Chains A and B, each alone.
Chain A
Amino acid sequence: MSNKKVLVGTTKGLVIIGKVAKKWQVIATHFLGLPVSVIYINELNNTWWAGISHHHWGQKLHYSTDEGSTWTSAAVPAYPVDAQIANGKAATFKKIWVLQHGGPQFPNRIWMGTEPGGLFVSEDDGQHFKIVDSLWNHPSRMNQQQWFGTGRSQPFIHSIVVHPEDNAHLYIAVSCAGIFESFDSGQSWQPRNQGLIAAYLPNPNVEVGHDPHRLLVCETQPEVLWQQNHCGIFRSTDGAKTWTDVSDPSGMPNYGFALAVNRTNPEQAWVIPAVSDELRVAPNQALVVCRTDDGGQTWHLLRSGLPQRNCFDIVFRHAFANSDELFVFGTTTGNLFLSENSGEHWQNVSHHLARVDCVAIQES
């Protein structure tokens, strides 16, 4: 485990954490002062990707094939000239939210989820991207009642799941629209939101209009998917055909952004709750990680090593990662917590980072 590294994307740079002399600590910083909003490690070719969402200069994208020693700029794709967002305004590239390789069956493919509401694909390792027309032109998006922004001005695609056995089989999560599935490498898409609840809409059971915050799959049993949703935690055991609310009836865990799953145990997942959107602080101002071992029937509260008083931290959707027993999350107030035993005990690695937007774990 000690050879693993943690990449932490903050609003003031990319911070690399490593274990030196038995202590996890900052070992490098890249892009100092710049907002690193996306970090992705393509484990197929060990390439690091860093998306920088400049306030002034627009979205930029960089990659490194030598674990950060050198970085190369990559072109950010453009929306088609005639592309429009729902209100008839021209669609212009706002932000990269997620990158995902296409799986071993398509080793040069990279998917990119963006704001506003775009899915792009590259077939040449990220040198060129093009928009996925079938999703952009999906009837549910063209109807402005069904895709919309809530926390952001426009909808965005933040989660992309490639089926581990059939890499042409995809799931994406759109906030707000919901889950969509494709069996043909993105040539056609179907909404998969049955069982979800959109409590903020006049009709909470709409087909499209849901707000998944994070979507993940159990790699060895890919019919099991989990999502932390605006309206609770949901689990599917039938490949997203139906979803079941597995939130704790007592109210926590329920709302939040961050989610981690066990790659081989379909019963086990972790979430980091927040007080709902009115406040967006840690519940009772005490940080807690919640774990289920039984598919969401019961939840265990993990607090060891986490601050339990006067705590304002919450954890964003891409700021929680796990690899084997190594878990790490960064918070909105610049804290970074790490666990070497699957969350049973946490240690603080830094109190002094900027807001953490994303983390990723580099395998040894």
Chain B
Amino acid sequence: MATIKFTAALKRFFPDLTEIEVMGTTVAEVLQATEAKYPGITDYLLDERGAVRQHMNIFVKGELITDRTTLQDKLGESDEVVIFQALSGG
């Protein structure tokens, strides 16, 4: 099970958002599982072609993912995924 942590900024649009655990072996799979728990959330994270939005960052085990287009970075057992937005103003 991967642990997904979200930027607090998303709570404005998904007030019930909390850290969750979901199944998946790639970033794409865990985001799909996240969408099932919070319908509409991937529209905030990804563009209509499924790529990570320009000002969004996704970390796996503390490292930025390398595949921002098809989200095929691999996840191990119990990996932590952090979803965070680029910061405005430094």
List the A residue with the shortest CB-CB distance to B87. Answer: A56
Determine the distance from Cα of A90 to Cα of B51 in the docked complex, in whole angstroms: 11
Inside 8 A of B43's CB, which chain A residues have their CB? 57-58, 76
Q: Say yes or no for B77: interface residue by CB 8 A criterion.
A: no
Interface secondary structure of A, over-half rule: loop
Determine the distance from Cα of A90 to Cα of B49 in the docked complex, in whole angstroms: 9
From the candidates A56, A73, A79, A81, name the one contacting B55 in the complex (CB within 8 A): A56
A56 pairs with B86, CB closer than 8 A: yes
B44 pairs with A81, CB closer than 8 A: no
Inside 8 A of A78's CB, which chain B residues have their CB? 48
B47 pairs with A58, CB closer than 8 A: yes
Q: Say yes or no for A22: interface residue by CB 8 A criterion.
A: no
A56 pairs with B85, CB closer than 8 A: yes
Q: How large is the interface on A (under 10, 10 to 19, 20 to 34, 35 or more residues)?
A: 10 to 19
Determine the distance from Cα of A186 to Cα of B26 in the docked complex, in whole angstroms: 43
B44 pairs with A58, CB closer than 8 A: yes
B88 pairs with A93, CB closer than 8 A: no
How near does chain A come to B27, taking the closest CB pair, in angstroms? 18
Q: Say yes or no for A92: interface residue by CB 8 A criterion.
A: yes
Determine the distance from Cα of A58 to Cα of B43 in the docked complex, in whole angstroms: 8
From the candidates B40, B47, B55, B88, name the one contacting A92 in the complex (CB within 8 A): B47
Tell me the A263-316 residues at the B interface (CB within 8 Å).
Answer: none
How near does chain A come to B36, taking the closest CB pair, in angstroms? 18
Inside 8 A of A54's CB, which chain B residues have their CB? 44
Inside 8 A of B55's CB, which chain A residues have their CB? 55-56
How near does chain A come to B50, taking the closest CB pair, in angstroms? 10
Tell me the B45-89 residues at the A interface (CB within 8 Å).
Answer: 45, 47-49, 51, 53, 55-56, 85-86, 88
Interface secondary structure of B, over-half rule: loop
Inside 8 A of B13's CB, which chain A residues have their CB? 57
How near does chain A come to B16, taking the closest CB pair, in angstroms? 16
How near does chain B come to A159, taking the closest CB pair, in angstroms? 24
Tell me the A44-85 residues at the B interface (CB within 8 Å).
Answer: 54-58, 73, 76, 78-79, 81
List the B residue with the shortest CB-CB distance to A94. Answer: B47
Inside 8 A of A90's CB, which chain B residues have their CB? 49
Inside 8 A of A81's CB, which chain B residues have their CB? 49
List the B residue with the shortest CB-CB distance to A73. Answer: B40
A93 pairs with B48, CB closer than 8 A: yes
Inside 8 A of B86's CB, which chain A residues have their CB? 56
How near does chain B come to A7, taking the closest CB pair, in angstroms? 21
Given the interface pairs A55-B55, A56-B55, A57-B44, the reply to whether A92 lies near B49 with Cβ below 8 Å is yes
List the B residue with the shortest CB-CB distance to A90. Answer: B49
Tell me the A81-117 residues at the B interface (CB within 8 Å).
Answer: 81, 90, 92-93
Inside 8 A of B9's CB, which chain A residues have their CB? 56
A92 pairs with B48, CB closer than 8 A: yes
Determine the distance from Cα of A79 to Cα of B53 in the docked complex, in whole angstroms: 15
B56 pairs with A56, CB closer than 8 A: yes
Determine the distance from Cα of A56 to Cα of B53 in the docked complex, in whole angstroms: 7
Determine the distance from Cα of A76 to Cα of B53 in the docked complex, in whole angstroms: 15
How near does chain A come to B44, taking the closest CB pair, in angstroms? 4
How near does chain A come to B28, taking the closest CB pair, in angstroms? 17
Determine the distance from Cα of A268 to Cα of B55 in the docked complex, in whole angstroms: 45
Chain B residues in contact with chain A, CB under 8 A? 9, 13, 40, 43-45, 47-49, 51, 53, 55-56, 85-86, 88
What are 20 A-B contacts with C-beta separation under 8 Å? A54-B44, A55-B55, A55-B88, A56-B9, A56-B44, A56-B55, A56-B85, A57-B13, A57-B43, A57-B44, A57-B45, A57-B85, A58-B43, A58-B47, A73-B40, A78-B48, A79-B48, A90-B49, A92-B48, A92-B49
The 4 closest A-B pairs by CB, nearest first: A78-B48, A57-B44, A56-B85, A56-B55
14 other contacts beyond A54-B44, A56-B9, A57-B53, with CB at 8 A cut-off?
A55-B88, A56-B44, A56-B56, A56-B86, A57-B13, A57-B43, A58-B43, A58-B44, A76-B43, A78-B48, A79-B48, A92-B48, A93-B47, A93-B48
